[in-house]
């Protein structure tokens, strides 16, 4: 019996900066571990270093400078129109530093993922690593979640935990978490691409048809889990 082949899922990746998570996704595709057709990388910052990375990988790139629009709604409309030209089955936020409007999020309901550098619901928003240190956390980490109108508030599907050491600074903790994000995000995206990860009519995340009552946990120091 031959193993079933998953057709590549068309995706668009949104970035604002260097695109390190985008690069991890690109490399996973190259290794044959992630069945994606990356149709475009879009940035709200024309000078984002990740655009050059994407071009070097042979991926179409688009910059839509948010500062040129009169308001958030106008930018989101332009962004949505551009994304939809590529007909993605999934929109991947990879360090996209914009708060998206409710209408935009609703348009991509159940097909937009984000990776956030904290163990949600702890520390939504910015400066998560310093906030974790200030709170005296012994464990920090990262989460992959479906995007909803609530900032970093959509259903969390997968997390990885990272120890916090007494000598940590925000920079050292961020670097350790980012390394794990590069393992975490491609795995969650692969679940979606394989049809294993979905959202039901009640806005709940499902893995293999079962409601995820709590996020799955990816061990930080071992290989990827068997589920």
Express each pLDDT in 181-206 by its tens digit.
Answer: 999 999 999 999 999 999 999 999 99
pLDDT at 216: 97
Express each pLDDT in 5-32 by its tens digit.
Answer: 568 999 999 999 999 999 999 999 999 9
The CATH number linked to 37 is: 3.40.50.170
Least confident of 49-63, 116-130, 144-158, 211-225: 211-225
Query: What distance in Å separates the CA atoms of residue 150 and residue 131, rounded to the nearest whole number?
Result: 20
pLDDT at 5: 56
* Torsion angles phi and psi, residue 32, rounded to 5: 80, 15
Q: Is 202 annotated as catalytic?
A: no
CA-CA distances (angstroms) from residue 17 to 89, 140, 176, 196? 23, 23, 18, 30
pLDDT at 221: 61
pLDDT band at 2 (very low <50, low <70, confident <90, very high): very low
Query: What distance in Å separates the CA atoms of residue 227 and residue 209, rounded to the nearest whole number?
Result: 13
The total of other beta-carbon atoms located within 10 Å of residue 109's CB is: 14
Structural domain contains residue 227: no
- Which residues pair with residue 216 across a beta bridge? 158
Query: What distance in Å separates the CA atoms of residue 116 and residue 189, rounded to the nearest whole number?
Result: 14
The total of other beta-carbon atoms located within 10 Å of residue 151's CB is: 13
pLDDT at 160: 97
Structural domain contains residue 136: yes
Residues 95-115 have a mean pLDDT of: 96
Structural domain contains residue 194: yes
Is residue 224 pLDDT above 80, yes or no? no
Return the higher-pLDDT residue of 109 and 6: 109
Structural domain contains residue 197: yes
- Residue numbers of the domain that contains 188: 9-218
pLDDT band at 220 (very low <50, low <70, confident <90, very high): confident
Given the residues 66, 73, 107, 116, the one annotated as active site: 116
Structural domain contains residue 3: no
In the chain, % of residues over pLDDT 90: 93
* Torsion angles phi and psi, residue 114, rounded to 5: -140, 150
pTM value? 0.94
Query: What distance in Å separates the CA atoms of residue 123 and residue 117, rounded to the nearest whole number?
Result: 9
Structural domain tally of the chain? 1
Residues 163-177 have a mean pLDDT of: 97
- Which residues pair with residue 158 across a beta bridge? 144, 216
Is residue 4 pLDDT above 90, yes or no? no
Residues 59-87 have a mean pLDDT of: 97
């Amino acid at each position: 019996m031959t193993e079933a082949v998953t057709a590549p899922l068309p995706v668009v990746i949104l970035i604002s900066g260097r695109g390190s998570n985008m690069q991890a996704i690109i490399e996973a595709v190259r290794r044959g571990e992630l069945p994606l057709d990356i149709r475009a990388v879009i940035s709200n910052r024309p000078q984002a270093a990740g655009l050059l990375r994407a071009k070097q990988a042979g991926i179409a790139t688009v910059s839509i400078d948010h500062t040129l629009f009169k308001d958030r709604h106008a930018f989101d409309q332009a962004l949505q129109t551009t994304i939809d030209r590529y007909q993605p089955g999934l929109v991947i936020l990879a360090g996209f530093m914009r708060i998206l409007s409710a209408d935009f999020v609703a348009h991509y309901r159940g097909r937009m993922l984000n990776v956030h550098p904290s163990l949600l619901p702890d520390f939504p928003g910015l400066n998560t690593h310093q906030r974790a240190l200030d709170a005296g956390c012994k464990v920090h980490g990262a989460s992959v979640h479906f995007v909803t109108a609530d900032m970093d508030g959509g259903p969390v599907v997968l997390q990885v935990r990272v120890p916090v050491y007494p000598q940590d600074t925000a920079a050292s903790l961020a670097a350790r978490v980012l390394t794990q994000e590069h393992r975490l995000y491609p795995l969650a995206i692969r679940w979606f691409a394989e049809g294993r990860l979905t959202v039901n009519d009640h806005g709940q995340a499902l893995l293999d048809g079962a409601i995820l009552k709590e996020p799955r946990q990816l061990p930080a120091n071992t290989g990827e889990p068997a589920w």
